[in-house]
Structure 1
């Protein structure tokens, strides 16, 4: 069945999200590896994405790890530098789909306050037809309930959804519910998939 609505992940689909790259540029690869081995920063970020307060969570983690306190605070204080830059071709695809009258939803692991920060910097984040933001939902991908909630609130059946995400576990969870899925590696591949699904022409997907 042809999809009738398109679901975008945000990190590494519409905006690059590379914390390791950021810290390599600031403190060097060797110290970054030491820090990430000593402190589970991605687990810290999962707490934010689950709805815990952005500043409080990161600052409390920093205070609990005094050897890395200043560096961990950068996750908050220079966060927008980690969540950058925009992936321009992906953004063009989003706008081309909407120009064709195809609903476009977000489904993203993102904190409440950090999403507001990002949306102030990237106004297109306020332009989805429906937003499904993990921090507001109190659950993160790949929890099956987050996909079920999108289905229920959007009113779109699983077989009518197509979802792009850069993480295989998130894709597998959506596929298990009957969604069409695309493992995002680059915007050209996503563009080709949207063309093959009949949602965009070659020209619209360029």
Structure 2
């Protein structure tokens, strides 16, 4: 399995293109610039089979329509944020001047709970990690030793909680109860900035000390 980090959209949000040796692929959080994702798929000869969302803020969903105009694939989002995909006031694109209003076209697949998600050829353990948003989900792949955390946990930081549905105590509980219990060597592939590890954040993240 190979993972390609792709900064996309107005905030250069980290999207992740994952593919296997059979050239089957999925995309996590295409935040914008869908044409770039399509170009990479073509260049590498990959077949996109699904789009998976850690949450439904505008900077994580902005490339969906452009991608699905070319490749009709399912989109997976937590049930608590399904309506956000078509509501700019909830996904945030209607709150920041100068941004295009974002409304995702087409049907989506809702997910919830802490079971497994099969997206294309890949299987994830789903961890509900609310706090940054009500339906934030982190996707863990223990064999590959990586968790896709969206905007929950960053290198030296945590997700903001001043947007609709955000809650600081809930976020910190999610991090401590769901993420920091993973092996220290687990790679945290997050939504903004460089990747980190669970062990590194336990040791040095100033937002987590003293919680």
TM-score by length of 2: 0.30
Higher helix share: 1
Higher strand share: 2
TM-score by length of 1: 0.30
Higher Cα Rg, which structure: 1
